[in-house]
Chains A and B, each alone.
Chain A
Amino acid sequence: DAGVIQSPRHEVTEMGQEVTLRCKPISGHNSLFWYRQTMMRGLELLIYFNNNVPIDDSGMPEDRFSAKMPNASFSTLKIQPSEPRDSAVYFCASSLALGTYEQYFGPGTRLTVT
């Protein structure tokens, strides 16, 4: 299996622009998680889905952030408009199911907003 796939690996954009991060979970995994990693705050869970349905989005920092999972093999995290403080590494992770299973992480997307 190819593992969790994220694109792009690096994104540089100007403040005010829309940014879309993409994730393909491991085939057969039913749960998907979006994390943000910064030096100041470490790894933060933003939102997670189970069977394509958002379960908890309490970690989403602001209304500028939105996430979708239109099907079992694809999810997006969108920031509109982007701000310099959104600069971070964004990870997507998937799990076989909620409950007892570990999460497998993608390689991350390094976002820089200038």
Chain B
Amino acid sequence: AQTVTQSQPEMSVQEAETVTLSCTYDTSESNYYLFWYKQPPSRQMILVIRQEAYKQQNATENRFSVNFQKAAKSFSLKISDSQLGDTAMYFCAFMSTNTGNQFYFGTGTSLTVIP
């Protein structure tokens, strides 16, 4: 079974600073995808970034980037130049194309950006 672990229940960062959220996963699959979703107080789940396991290059979307370490099964999210609007719950998610395409979510990290 796939498991996703986010070991940081809560984090905070000063506005304009950089913060890294951790995520590890456990799988025996070789072909899979990883995602970070953001859930602000509005409750809407918003896709932040995705990474294909077969790609060695780390995905980047503007101020958001990942550090994907396949051997270590680690998938951290770095947020640069943090903004107040980044305050939200962040969920790491795993999807394998070999096991029914189900998403497996971590328990989330609550990030607060401090002005």
Interface residues of A (CB under 8 A from B): 31, 33, 42-43, 45, 48, 55-56, 89, 91, 93, 98-100, 102-105, 107-108, 110
Q: Is the CB of A56 within 8 A of B100?
A: yes
Give the contacting residue for B103; candidates A100, A103, A108; CB below 8 A: A103
Q: Would you call B60 an interface residue if the criterion is a C-beta within 8 Å of the partner chain's C-beta atoms?
A: no
Q: Would you call B75 an interface residue if the criterion is a C-beta within 8 Å of the partner chain's C-beta atoms?
A: no
Considering the complex, give the chain B residue whose CB is closest to the CB of A9: B43
Q: Is the CB of B44 within 8 A of A42?
A: no
Considering the complex, give the chain B residue whose CB is closest to the CB of A95: B101
Interface size class of B (residues with CB under 8 A): 20 to 34
Complexed CA–CA distance, A107 and B44 (Å): 5
Give the contacting residue for A108; candidates B43, B100, B106; CB below 8 A: B43
* A-B pairs with lowest CB-CB distance, top 4: A105-B45, A98-B101, A43-B105, A42-B107
Q: Is the CB of B44 within 8 A of A105?
A: yes
What are the residues of chain B within 8 A of A93 when measuring CB–CB?
A: 45
Dominant secondary structure at the A interface: strand
Q: Is the CB of A100 within 8 A of B43?
A: no
Q: Is the CB of B33 within 8 A of A100?
A: yes
How far, in Å, is A102 (CB) from chain B's closest CB?
Answer: 5
Complexed CA–CA distance, A108 and B42 (Å): 10
What are the residues of chain A within 8 A of B103 when measuring CB–CB?
A: 33, 45, 103
Complexed CA–CA distance, A91 and B42 (Å): 13
Q: Is the CB of B47 within 8 A of A107?
A: no
Residues of chain B from 34 to 83 with CB closer than 8 A to chain A in the complex: 35, 37, 42-47, 50, 52
Residues of chain B from 1 to 55 with CB closer than 8 A to chain A in the complex: 33, 35, 37, 42-47, 50, 52
